[in-house]
Each structure stands twice: as structure tokens, then as C-alpha cells.
């Protein structure tokens, strides 16, 4: 049975234009919190219960700092915007100190081996993640107009943290991209003949600002879904982008077939992009801009696999051998 309380929170977040992934994450942690407090109504609890929950995540579950921070953000939203009882700014809890894992990086030879076993349907998408350092969701959300053939670049809108950036595009992908655009155009021409079709989804206030954009081909997704679906926010028929879960499965299957003995995910392609750029002599600030990192310290983690060793220091053992 669905919880009316959680449904109310979901509806409130939809109205406030929160991203679908954010809504799902917040609801997950709010539900976990309610279970932790023995299914009491959160209105009957406050700072002390939230502190105990956050301590539990750190001490008992050994959760990563980012996960604990997401749980705190979820509960802050709950108490501030739903219950109108904001949490204290001085909560006393044990912050997670788990060190982040070093990224898994593939060599160029391993990238080639992986791509040989990626199915044709998803190959271009994977090539973009590696060739342009895109995150999975950034790739599946690409619109036709985001591809700039004149300057061999891709415009990424509303990436992680709502940031925009322009990234490099391998010229070798031009013909494949044009074929993909033609494939998307085929779906588009079919859809616009459908009287129930309401155009492509546009985020935030763009639909009001550009009322005709939803039926403009350039705003449509580069990697469209094979089926039409109902937009839950406005109850209209649209064609969404391809499901990201299918790409994750493709990478997993391809890595097994290629016999690669590493834990490989879609994000591994982005890690490899950054590391290979640094190996080729790219300035770390340039790599930072390509990845869309706010802090260069986040980018510096990729220097650990550069051939000359950590921070460019050559081991004295190398001289002996």
C-alpha cells in the first residue's frame, strides 16, 4: 500500500521542479528515516532523532560521506518544506569519514577490447562517454542541438550541480552522429503525425518561455526511447530519451565478454577519459573544465595512474632496475 505522506512529498517536489532522480533519492532516505524511528510520524520527532539516524548511518552502516550528506539534505527538506519545522543548524552527529575509492581506469587497449563487445545500438553512446568525458545521464539527455559539428564540441546543459559546459567531440564520430540524428528524425516525423503527441519534455520554465520548442526537432533527444510514454508531471504523451539502465547492462555484459578483470561501470569511461587526457599532456585545469568539476582537487585524483608515478615522482628503485 502506498504511503499518502510520501505521495504528498513527491507531489510537492514535482511542483517545485525537482529532478526525478533527486525526488527518488529524497523519498528513499525519508522512508529509511521513518522506518528507523519505528514508523512514527516525523512531525513527532526532530533534531535528536535525526542525529541518532545520521549516527546510525555512519557508525553502524559505515556509509560514505556523500550518502550521509544526501540523507541529511533529504531530512532537511522534509522538516523545512513539508513539516515547517526546520532542523537546527548545529546538529551533533558523527560525520562519515570513509575514504573515497580510487577510480577504476582502463588502458586504451582495454577500451578497444570493451568497445568490440558493446552492441551496435549502444556503441555511439559509450564512445561519447569515453571520447567526451560525459556522465551517463548527461549522454542520454543530449538534444539534437547540443551537437556542434562546426567546432567539434558538445554543449552540456544542467549537468551535475546544474552547471553548463562545452566539451570536446571526436571528429571521427561525425558520421555516426549524423546517422543517429537521422534515426531520431525518423521517430520525430512519425510522432508529429500522432494527434496525442505533445512534443518533447522541456525542463523548468523553458516550456513557457518557448511554447513551440517542444515540437521543434532540434529540441528532441539524440537518443530517443523506442516507445512513447506518459509524462507523469503533466499527463501528456511524449517520447523520452533511452533508458539509462540498458546502457549499464550493456557495459557490464561487454566487460565480461571482453574478459576484463576490473569493476567496470559507465563512469569508468569518464575516469579513463580524464586519465588519458592527462597522460597525453593536457593541463589539469583543462581537464577540470572538460569534466565540469568545481574544484581542481577533484580532478587531481586522476594523476594516480599517470605512468611516471604519483605526483610525477619516479621511484628510486627504477634506477636500480
Task: Please pick, among 141, 143, 241, 270, the residue that the annotation labels catalytic.
Answer: 270
Comparing C-alpha atoms, which of 170, 121, 164 is closest to residue 141?
Answer: 164
* Distance between CA atoms of residues 119 and 126, nearest Å: 10
Euclidean distance between CA atoms 70 and 81, whole angstroms? 16
Determine whether 267 is an active site residue. Answer: yes
Known catalytic residue at 271 = no
Out of 39-43, 157-161, 206-210, the most confident range is: 39-43
The reply to whether domains 4-82 and 101-321 share a CATH topology is no
Q: What is the pLDDT of residues 40-81, one digit of tens each?
A: 999 999 999 999 999 999 999 989 888 999 999 999 999 999
In CATH, what is the architecture of 4-82? Orthogonal Bundle (1.10)
Confidence bin at 294 (pLDDT 50/70/90) = confident
State the pLDDT at residue 32. Answer: 97
- Please confirm, yes or no, whether 165 is among the known catalytic residues: no
* Residue 209 in grid coordinates: 518561455
SS3 content of the chain, % helix, strand, coil (to 5): 55, 5, 35
> What is the average pLDDT value for the chain, to the nearest integer?
90
**Active-site residue among 33, 188, 221, 302?**
302
238 is catalytic: no
To the query of whether residue 8 is one of the catalytic residues in this protein, the response is no
Q: Which of 39, 33, 25 is nearest to 51 (CA)?
A: 33
* Residues 209-225, mean pLDDT to the nearest whole number: 92
Give the mean pLDDT of 80-95.
94
pLDDT at residue 312, rounded to an integer: 57
Q: Is 31 a catalytic residue?
A: no
List 160, 163, 257, 262, catalytic entry: 160
Helix (H) or strand (E) holding 237: strand 236-238
Q: Locate the domains of the chain by residue range.
A: 4-82, 101-321
pTM for this entry: 0.83
The dihedral built from the CA positions of residue 168, 171, 172 and 177, taken in this order, carries a sign that is positive
Burial of 226 (0-12, 13-18, 19+ CB in 10 A): exposed
Give the per-residue pLDDT at 158: 83
CATH number of 101-321: 1.10.443.10
**Residues 125, 136: Cα–Cα separation, whole Å:** 9
Q: Which of 46, 187, 236, 267 does the annotation list as catalytic?
A: 267
More confident residue, 305 or 95: 95
Instruction: Indicate if the alpha-carbon torsion angle 14, 20, 21, 27 is positive or negative.
Output: positive
Confidence (pLDDT) at 1: 45
Res 303: pLDDT? 74
Q: Between these two residues, 60 and 299, which has the higher pLDDT value?
A: 60
Q: Which of 77, 130, 135, 238 is catalytic?
A: 135
Kindly report, residue by residue over 1-38, the tens digit of the pLDDT: 478 999 999 999 988 878 888 999 999 999 999 999 99
Amino acid at each position: 500500500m502506498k504511503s499518502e505522506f510520501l505521495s504528498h512529498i513527491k507531489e510537492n517536489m514535482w511542483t517545485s521542479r525537482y529532478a526525478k532522480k533527486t525526488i527518488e533519492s529524497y523519498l528513499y532516505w525519508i522512508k529509511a528515516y521513518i522506518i528507523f524511528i519505528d514508523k512514527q510520524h516525523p512531525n513527532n520527532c526532530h533534531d535528536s532523532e535525526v542525529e541518532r539516524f545520521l549516527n546510525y548511518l555512519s557508525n553502524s552502516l559505515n556509509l560514505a560521506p556523500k550518502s550521509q550528506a544526501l540523507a541529511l539534505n533529504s531530512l532537511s527538506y522534509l522538516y523545512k518544506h513539508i513539516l515547517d519545522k526546520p532542523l537546527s543548524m548545529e546538529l551533533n552527529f558523527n560525520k562519515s569519514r570513509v575514504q573515497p575509492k580510487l577510480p577504476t581506469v582502463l588502458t586504451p587497449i582495454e577500451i578497444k577490447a570493451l568497445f568490440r563487445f558493446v552492441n551496435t545500438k549502444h556503441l555511439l553512446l559509450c564512445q561519447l562517454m569515453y571520447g567526451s568525458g560525459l556522465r551517463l545521464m548527461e549522454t542520454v539527455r543530449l538534444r539534437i542541438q547540443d551537437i556542434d559539428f562546426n567546432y567539434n564540441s558538445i554543449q552540456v546543459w544542467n549537468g551535475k550541480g546544474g552547471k553548463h559546459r562545452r566539451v570536446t567531440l571526436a571528429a571521427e564520430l561525425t558520421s555516426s552522429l549524423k546517422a543517429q540524428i537521422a534515426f531520431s528524425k525518423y521517430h520525430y516525423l512519425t510522432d508529429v503525425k500522432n494527434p496525442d503527441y505533445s512534443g518533447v519534455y522541456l525542463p523548468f520554465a523553458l516550456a513557457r518561455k518557448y511554447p513551440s520548442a517542444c515540437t521543434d526537432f532540434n529540441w528532441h533527444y539524440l537518443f530517443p526511447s523506442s516507445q512513447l510514454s506518459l509524462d507523469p508531471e503533466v499527463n501528456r504523451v511524449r517520447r523520452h530519451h533511452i533508458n539509462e539502465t540498458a546502457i549499464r547492462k550493456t557495459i557490464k555484459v561487454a566487460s565480461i565478454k571482453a574478459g576484463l578483470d576490473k569493476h567496470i561501470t559507465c563512469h569508468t569511461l569518464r575516469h579513463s577519459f580524464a586519465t588519458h587526457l592527462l597522460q597525453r599532456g593536457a593541463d589539469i585545469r583543462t581537464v577540470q573544465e572538460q569534466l565540469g568539476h568545481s574544484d581542481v582537487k577533484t580532478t587531481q585524483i586522476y594523476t594516480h595512474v599517470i605512468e611516471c608515478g604519483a605526483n610525477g615522482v619516479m621511484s628510486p628503485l627504477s634506477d636500480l632496475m
